[in-house]
Amino acid sequence: MKAFFASLWEKLKGMFTKNLGIKISAVVFALLLWAYVLVVLNPVRTKLIDKVPISLEGYNDLLSRNLILVEQDLGQASVSVEAAITSHASLDASRINCRASLSTITGPGTYKLTVSATTQGNLGTVSKVSPSIVEVEVDKLIKKDIPVKVTYGESKLPEGYEILSENYSTSINVEGAARFVESAVRAEAVLDLTDKTKDIRESVKVIFYDAEGQEVNVVTRTGETPSISVYVSISAVKKVPVQPQLNLPDEEYYDLVWTCIPDTVTIYGDMSVLDGIDEILTEDMVLDEKLSVQTVEGQLVLPEGVSLKSGQSTQVKVTVTVTEKEEDKELIIPVQYLNMPDGFHLAENVPSSVTVIAHGTKKQLSQLGVENIQATVDLTGRAPGIHEVIPVLKLTNPQIFPSVTLRLKESCIRVDIIHGN
């Protein structure tokens, strides 16, 4: 087997090395011949170029005649070019001008246009264009004002935020193909509010609808979808109670029951500011202590960086019912024993004082002292022995304490009357 492969190797080596100079010369000659054909003769060959856009000639002239194409995109063509083989590498869709002329169109209707093509820089000669004919539809070019409304679809602002105001044109002037413009009766510009916490200023594309609510694809003069400029003011919002600042002399002696109109307000501002606000105060409003029911008006005091919702007034009206606070007050009052019968006297353990509970307004009780109360026991006709008696309580100057009433803390006291002096 080794002998076989050795013999085969010698034969193959001989094939490549025998007459080696002649073989090298043949290869060089072939390369030179190929270069001669390519460079000197440069034969012409056909190259097919696909996806060449078809452009329009005379479109502005068509518009000037108040006409417009219903469909402005004519699609693409395949172009066959006869070109020198050295030019093939440079030939692609970007080096081909493919066009259809609108110059013969004078009115609305359907037209068949011839598609022609040329190469840039004389790279070759166009031998075929496919399609060679395109059909176009032409309509009247008209203008129309269409009412437009900004909507937000199903999008919502984050919790705690509201729209303060919207600013946009409520109509849009559309210039386009009559069949579409005439059927459009309203338009919507849909703005996305998702995750929006700051003011929005955007150009929003408009969607057109016919009378039945079907979307209309309006072909415009520029070929672009119309849009409107929309500004939406957004702010953090919070509803908080109104807290009137009522000023009454000797306020600690009175109970105030009030109703406020409005009792809540909606405030706007930066979220970091609103988070620290739980109520809105009013300016000081002075009350008259002589009036049991009174109405006062004042202004809200808004913190810096906070404003009210548009339409809300800073003025509030507060109706106040003023009542004096009432309470009890305990006092230790000496007991005066009156009209002791002759030949009798009191035992040593007879109470010398009693606890009196005075009830009245807090203001009057603050002025009431021991000296203003008398506690007396009338012993007239009392016989010796132990008697349960109720001292008579009396204000020494009741005109000063008209609201005050007196009562014993105990139900009675025990008085021991002894015979003898």
Of 78-87, 138-147, 297-306, 382-391, the least confident: 78-87
CB count within 10 Å of CB 187 equals 20
CB count within 10 Å of CB 299 equals 12
CB count within 10 Å of CB 49 equals 21
What pLDDT does residue 18 have?
A: 62
On the question of pLDDT at 241 being above 80, the answer is yes
Q: How far is CA 44 from CA 32, 82, 91, in A?
A: 20, 6, 13
Torsion angle of the four alpha carbons 148, 152, 153, 158, in this order, in degrees rounded to the nearest 10? 180
What pLDDT does residue 35 have?
A: 55
Cβ contact 347:418 at 8 Å: yes
Q: How far is CA 5 from CA 14, 18, 54, in A?
A: 14, 19, 66
* pLDDT band, very low/low/confident/very high, at 71 (cuts 50, 70, 90): confident
* Mean pLDDT, range 271-290, rounded to an integer: 92
On the question of pLDDT at 36 being above 90, the answer is no
* pLDDT band, very low/low/confident/very high, at 407 (cuts 50, 70, 90): very high
On the question of pLDDT at 27 being above 70, the answer is no
On the question of pLDDT at 278 being above 90, the answer is yes
Owner of token pair 């016919």? 210
Of 29-33, 121-125, 216-220, the least confident: 29-33
Q: 32 or 200: which carries more pLDDT confidence?
A: 200
Residues 6+ away with beta carbon under 8 Å from 267: 237, 238, 239, 240, 274, 277, 280, 302, 306, 307, 308, 309
* pLDDT band, very low/low/confident/very high, at 53 (cuts 50, 70, 90): very high
DSSP per position, 67-83: EEES-----EEEEEEEE
* Mean pLDDT, range 56-83, rounded to an integer: 90
What pLDDT does residue 121 have?
A: 82
pLDDT digits (tens, 9 = 90+) for 80-130: 998 887 777 788 989 999 999 998 899 999 999 999 999 998 888 899 999
CA 174/CA 184 separation, integer angstroms? 10
Cβ contact 352:415 at 8 Å: no
Read off the tokens for 238: 């919070």
Q: Hey, what amino acid is at 237?
A: V
On the question of pLDDT at 263 being above 60, the answer is yes
Q: How far is CA 359 from CA 232, 316, 338, 365, in A?
A: 64, 37, 26, 8
Q: To the nearest whole number, what is the mean pLDDT of the chain?
A: 89
pLDDT digits (tens, 9 = 90+) for 304-361: 999 998 788 999 999 999 999 999 999 999 999 999 888 889 988 899 999 999 999 9
**pLDDT above 90 covers what percent of the chain?**
68
Cβ contact 372:364 at 8 Å: no
**pLDDT above 70 covers what percent of the chain?**
90
Of 143-147, 230-234, 296-300, 340-344, the least confident: 340-344
* Mean pLDDT, range 146-166, rounded to an integer: 94
CB count within 10 Å of CB 178 equals 18
Q: Which of 97, 117, 105 is nearest to 70 (CA)?
A: 105
What pLDDT does residue 280 have?
A: 96
Q: Which of 116, 87, 98 is nearest to 52 (CA)?
A: 98
